[in-house]
Chains A and B, each alone.
Chain A
């Protein structure tokens, strides 16, 4: 087990490097000059442009810029915004707690409801409840998050007035409820489907037949034998789910006016703030990699075949 953990940790390093290089290239190699854009429609002043570029280190060769970026990363130093010269790290520090709270709410929602729906549908396969859940999840997957968000805002917020359509206080749990549900809905559908398939597959397994042949009561067979095995793939899915939540946050926070990191990223994209983009995406990637690592370890804990392979 210890070796497995060490191996996974080591694997993370080259992947992290590779991913950050990729991001860095994607942001910096492509056409478009963010410094020139600062002047808007007016022609930029070459001397001032050169000075700004120099200050921001944008006139160095790319590989040097990358190394600077990596070095700064280690210090938590993401540079400053081009527009307001504010430290990127401060902007992010203010926005992250909001998004974390939103994401946690979404995550809890999708897990609890998703797994319950999936279990019920999987056990009663072919019956009405199964078909209903299938149709429901199909619909949720088909409607993109932003459509769901807009509809939710319109119907529940504006028309029905059950919640405030726009979030005023980004840390208020009650106000974050609707955005969290919208954010988690897509993942909920996937979790429900995955659970349902896993349960349906495992229900026909030989070891379930053995459990029944042993004279174990139905509840025990489902709880100890069926669920223990069926939930393993769901746990592994949760790693990739974090990625979906992050992307979804960009859209959802925009719609509901939540002052989180997603919103920050969206505005940075609009204003071509390279440092902010790279900073946020890097942190996202880091979180994503760590989450996947944790999930892999969890998987090893849950499935002894991996542990002692």
Chain B
């Protein structure tokens, strides 16, 4: 029974009042007589599929994920192996698709194409890793603080206030500077350490709004335990803004990692990172702009894909923007 109430409420959230005073689509939606009202999730999915923004970004992201997970599928060359004598700053051969010389060679004789492919792994790992950590950790804390209020809420608010006092990349610079041997996990850790507060705040706000809803009060009156209420009533309704922020944060994290690598504060020299490549490219930019162009282009494309996804998800999940 509570499930049905939740589903009806989710649909009503779109019409916003029992008496639609707005004209337009709400009039049509007021009479769902024979059909079962769709849940917000199903509604959002149906909406997403129709958007070109979503489809393009989804295809791109799947492609990137595959490339990150199985780089050997795309490039058989070792990205760290440089052949200085033969391939110093070779120009790209745009005709040789998927060949080592497709994007040319860098100042150390390494195949740029190969480096671009392997660089995806780092960016995706950092992006996904940080986002997962911040969403789970930040989301959990935010949910508990928002739902239970009182001391937990005050404590969390003060802590997040402190973290918010430090601008993201600035803090990352300071933290990462202290480590001399940096691995992917160091970077993930540092960025997650500074980034969890954003998700925590968003989740807290969403949970506070959700917990005041009538269906939560009704569920409590029916004797539902806290765990059940959180799982089945509060969380599904609070999750929407969190998903939007998390998706966009993924893009932001990838930008952050590349910026840090560019500044030399990211990964070590043995790891392949687009940001570091761009930094190296600066020296030879006059006569060999291709070294800058390909990693920069790939980086921008990746971030674009995630931001587009975030946009599409936000528009699909926001009933007001229908």
When A and B assemble into the complex, do they touch directly, with CB atoms less than 8 Å apart? yes
Binding site for B on A (CB under 8 A): 11, 14-16, 18-19, 22-23, 26-27, 29-32, 138-139, 141-147, 150-151, 154, 158, 200-201, 204, 206, 243-244, 246-247, 250-251, 254, 265-266, 269-270, 272, 277, 281, 284-285, 288-289
Given contacts A31-B180, A141-B307, contact A150 B168 (CB under 8 A): no
Most-contacted residue by chain B among A27, A147, A206, A254 (CB, 10 A): A147
Q: Does B30 contact A (CB under 8 A)?
A: no
Residues in A whose Cβ lies below 8 Å from that of B308: 138
Inter-chain contact B299/A144, CB cutoff 8 Å: yes
On chain A, the residues within 8 Å of B321 by CB distance are 200-201
Q: Which residue of B lies closest to A262 (CB)?
A: B170
Report how far A266 CA is from B260 CA in the complex, Å.
11
- How far is it, in angstroms, between the C-alpha of A32 and the C-alpha of B301 when the chains are bound? 36
Q: Mark B237-276, 1 if CB is under 8 A from A, else 0.
A: 0000000000000010001001100111100000000010
23 pairs, A vs B, C-beta closer than 8 Å: A18-B161, A26-B174, A26-B178, A141-B303, A144-B299, A146-B262, A150-B278, A151-B296, A158-B286, A204-B320, A206-B21, A243-B168, A246-B167, A247-B168, A250-B170, A251-B262, A251-B263, A266-B263, A269-B177, A269-B263, A272-B177, A277-B177, A281-B170
What 3 A-B pairs are tightest by C-beta distance, nearest first?
Answer: A30-B178, A243-B167, A18-B162
Known interface pairs A146-B278, A204-B22; A247-B178 also in contact (CB < 8 Å) = no
In the assembled complex, which residues on chain A have CB atoms less than 8 Å from the CB atom of B55?
none
Q: Assuming A26-B171, A147-B296, A277-B177, is B166 touching A19 (CB within 8 A)?
A: yes
Is B285 interfacial (CB 8 A cutoff)? yes
B178 touches A142 (CB 8 A): no
Residues of chain A contacted by B177 (CB below 8 angstroms): 269, 272, 277
Given the known interface contacts A23-B174, A27-B178, A147-B296, the answer about A285 and B165 at a Cβ–Cβ threshold of 8 Å is yes
Contacts of A204 in B (CB 8 A): 22, 320
The interface bits of chain B over 267-306 (1 if a CB of A lies within 8 angstroms of the residue's CB, else 0) are 0000000010010001001100100100010011101100
B165, B178, B262, B307: the one contacting A289 at CB < 8 Å is B165
Q: Does B98 contact A (CB under 8 A)?
A: no
- Among B169, B285, B300, B307, which residue has its beta carbon within 8 angstroms of that of A150? B285
Q: Nearest Cβ distance between residue B291 and chain A, in whole angstroms?
A: 11
- Residues from chain B with a CB closer than 8 A to the CB of A265 are 173
Residue B158 is within 8 A (CB to CB) of chain A in the complex? yes
Docked pose: A15 CA to B163 CA in angstroms:
9
Among A15, A139, A243, which residue has its beta carbon within 8 angstroms of that of B170? A243
Complex CA gap A19/B179 in Å reads 20
Q: Which of B166, B289, B299, B300 contacts A22 (CB 8 A)?
A: B166
Q: Which residues of A contact B265 (CB under 8 A)?
A: 269
Closest to B169 in A: A247
List B contacts of A26 (CB < 8 A). 171, 174-175, 178
Q: Answer whether residue B153 sits at the interface, using C-beta atoms and an 8 A cutoff.
A: no
| Interface residue total, chain B, C-beta cutoff 8 A | 47
Residues on the B chain within 8 Å of A143, using CB: 296, 300, 303
Task: Give every chain B residue within 8 A of A272 (Cβ-Cβ).
Answer: 177
Q: Is there contact, CB below 8 Å, between A284 and B170?
A: yes
Nearest A residue to B193, CB-CB: A26
Residues in A with CB closer than 8 Å to B158 are: 14-15, 18
CB pair B174–A277 under 8 Å, yes or no, is yes
Q: How does the 8 Å CB contact mask read for B132-166 relative to A, with 1 for contact and 0 for none?
A: 00000000000000000000000000110111011
Tell which of A144, A146, A243 has the most Cβ of chain B within 10 Å. Answer: A144
Q: Is B12 an interface residue (CB 8 A)?
A: no
Contacts of A32 in B (CB 8 A): 178-180
B165 partner, pick from A15, A138, A147, A251, beta carbons under 8 A: A15
Of A22, A146, A269, A289, which one neighbours B173 at CB under 8 angstroms?
A269
B311 on the A face (CB < 8 A): yes
> CA–CA, A297 to B61, complex, Å?
42
Known: A22-B166, A144-B300, A251-B263. 14 other contacts (CB 8 A): A14-B158, A19-B165, A32-B179, A141-B303, A142-B301, A206-B21, A250-B169, A250-B263, A269-B174, A269-B263, A269-B265, A272-B177, A281-B170, A288-B166
Is B174 a contact of A281 with CB atoms below 8 Å?
yes
Please, how many angstroms separate the alpha-carbon atoms of A83 and B180 in the complex?
19
**Residues of chain B lying within 8 A (CB to CB) of residue A270:** 264
Q: CB distance A142 to B300 under 8 Å?
A: yes
> Which residue of B171, B175, B304 contacts A142 across the interface (Cβ within 8 Å)?
B304
Chain A: minimal CB distance from B220 (Å): 28
Q: How far is the CA of A142 from the CA of B255 in the complex (A)?
A: 8
**Bound CA span A154–B311, Å:** 31
Q: Which A residues lie within 8 Å of B178 (CB)?
A: 26-27, 29-32
Query: Is the Cβ of B259 less than 8 Å from the Cβ of A145?
Result: yes
Using an 8 Å CB-CB cutoff, how does the interface string of B37-60 with A read, 1 for contact, 0 for none? 000000000000000000000000
For A270, the closest partner residue in chain B by CB is B264
What's the least CB distance linking B305 to chain A, in Å? 8
Residue in B closest to A189 when the chains form the complex, CB atoms: B307
In the complex, A107 Cα to B104 Cα: how many Å? 39
B198 to chain A, nearest CB (A): 10
A151 to B251, alpha carbons, bound, how many Å? 20
Q: Check A144 against B303 for contact (C-beta < 8 Å).
A: yes
B299 and A154 contact, CB distance less than 8 A: no
